[in-house]
Structure 1
Amino acid sequence: MRYDPRRHLWSALSVAQVRALFTTCPARWWLSGGWAIDHWHGSGSPSRPHGDIDVSTLRPALPALRPALPADLRPFAARRGHLFPLGKRHDDPEVHNIWVHDPGRDRFVLQINLEDGAETGWRYRRDPRITLPWDSAVASVDSVPTGTPVTQLLWKSPDPRPRDEHDLDVAHHLLGPAQRRWLRDAVRLAHPHSPWADDPRLGHP
C-alpha cells in the first residue's frame, strides 16, 4: 500500500517502553534518530516534538530481534513510499526501514532501521568507507543502548531539515574536539555538498 500521512498515523512508544521491549533481546540493537539525541541530552524531557521513535539493528540480527515484538504488532517494510507486510523482505537489500503497526490502535508505534556493521564495528550504510568501533558508535545511556551523537548527526547531514538543525544545536555541545573532527571529516567525505561540511558548530580545520 502507498504511504498516506493522513491515514497512516503514529503513536510512538516511549524510550522506557522500547527498553522494556528489547531488554532481554539477544540481538544487537540501539536507540537511534532524534530520540537518541534527546536521550544523550538527558534533560528529562524531549527538546522538540518527535513524531516517531527509532531503533537500529544490523540486517543479519533482525531474525533474532523480531521475536521481541509482541505477537499482535505487525511489521511493514517501508520502501519507496510504499508499505509492505515484512514477511522475509528483510533480505531485500533495498529495505532499510521497518514500521511496526499496532492494529488495536491503528497506529504505527516503532521504526526499526537496518544498518551495516560487523563484530568489529559500525559501518555507515551510505558510505562504507566510514566506520567506528562499536564503543564509539553505541553506548549505554540510562541502561538503553543509544547511538552516539556523531553517528546520528551523520545520518541527518545530507539534507538537514529544521528538526535536524535543532538536533545539531542540541548535540554539538556534547561533542569533544576529536568527535567534532571525526563528524566534520565524515560529512565532508560522504556528503561534501552538505551545509554541515563547513558548519562552525563542528569546528574548523
Structure 2
Amino acid sequence: MRTETPWGPWDPLPLAETVHLLTPLRSPWWIAGGYAVELAVGRAYREHGDIDVLLLRRDQLAVQRMLPGWEWWAADPPGTLRPWNPGEVLPAHVHDIWCRPGPDEPWRVQFMLDDVAGDDWVFRRDPRIRLPLDRLGAVSQDGVPHVVPQVQLLYKSRSRRPKDEQDFEAALPVLGDDQRAWLIETITLAEGADHPWAARLRAG
C-alpha cells in the first residue's frame, strides 16, 4: 500500500521480497510491526503501509554493509530524517532507519534497532522490562523469523491506533497463558494498571 510522507512516498516491499532480501544477513533479524502479528496469527487480515524489521543495535552495520547500494536515512528524533553515512554507528537515541534502493525510489523497508544487556533484550521505553534474547523471536510456519506477538503488542500498547487495536484483537486468540501473563505485567509496568488492553487480557 503506497502512502505519502513529507520525505517522499512509502511503497513497502512485499513480505516475501523482504525475507529474500535479508536471507544473506548472518546477524539475527525479525519481521516486526503488524506483519509480525500476522505471522503469529497465521493469516493476513489488513493492509500495511510499511514493513518493519527488528535488528539488534550491535548489528546495525552488518545490514548497511549487506546493501551498500541502498540509501539509508536515520530517524533522528524528534521528527527528522538525516542520511546515515556508511560506517557510522548511530547514537543510542536513534531507533529507526528508513531505506530505499536509490534517491528517486520510494522508501521500501524500515529497520528498528533494539538494545541488549547480556543475554536479554531490553525494552527501549522502560529498561526494567527485559526478555531472554532467545525468546524475542519465533519462526512462522513458512520459516519467517518474527517478533513474538506479546513483545510487538507491548510496543503497540501506547499508541493504540486503529490498526494497533486490530492487531490486538487478532492476536488475542493465539496468545498462550505465559504470553498473556507477561503482556499484562509489562503493559501495567510501562503504561499503568488501568490500561484497557491489560483489562482485556485479565478477563481472558
Normalised to the residue count of structure 1, the TM-score between the two structures is: 0.88
Partners of 2:117 and 2:129 in 1: how far apart? 13
Q: Map residues 109-128 of structure 1 onto 2, 5 A cutoff.
A: 109-118=108-117, 120-128=119-127
Partner of 1:149: 149
Between 1:125-134 and 1:189-198, the stretch displaced more is 189-198
Distance change (3 Å), C-alpha of 1:194 and 1:99: farther
How far apart are residue 114 of structure 1 and its match? 0.6
Percent identity between matched residues is 35
How far apart are residue 37 of structure 1 and its match? 0.7
Distance change (3 Å), C-alpha of 1:110 and 1:61: same
Paired residues of 1:188 and 1:197 also in contact (CA < 8 A): no
Paired residues of 1:30 and 1:56 also in contact (CA < 8 A): yes
Paired residues of 1:27 and 1:62 also in contact (CA < 8 A): no
Partners of 2:49 and 2:197 in 1: how far apart? 27
Residue 25 of structure 1 pairs with residue 25 of structure 2: yes
| Correspondence for 1:81 among 79, 82, 90 | 79
The unaligned stretches of length 5 or more in structure 2 are none
Paired residues of 1:121 and 1:134 also in contact (CA < 8 A): yes
Residue 101 of structure 1 pairs with residue 100 of structure 2: yes
How far apart are residue 119 of structure 1 and its match? 5.2
Partner of 2:158, secondary structure, is coil
The unaligned stretches of length 5 or more in structure 1 are none
1:25-59 alpha-carbon deviations (Å, 9 max, x no partner): 1112111011111112222xx31110000001111
Alignment-mate amino acid for residue 191 of structure 1: E
Partner of 1:34, secondary structure, is helix
Partners of 1:39 and 1:99 in 2: how far apart? 22
1:64-96 alpha-carbon deviations (Å, 9 max, x no partner): 122222x33201001221110011554212211
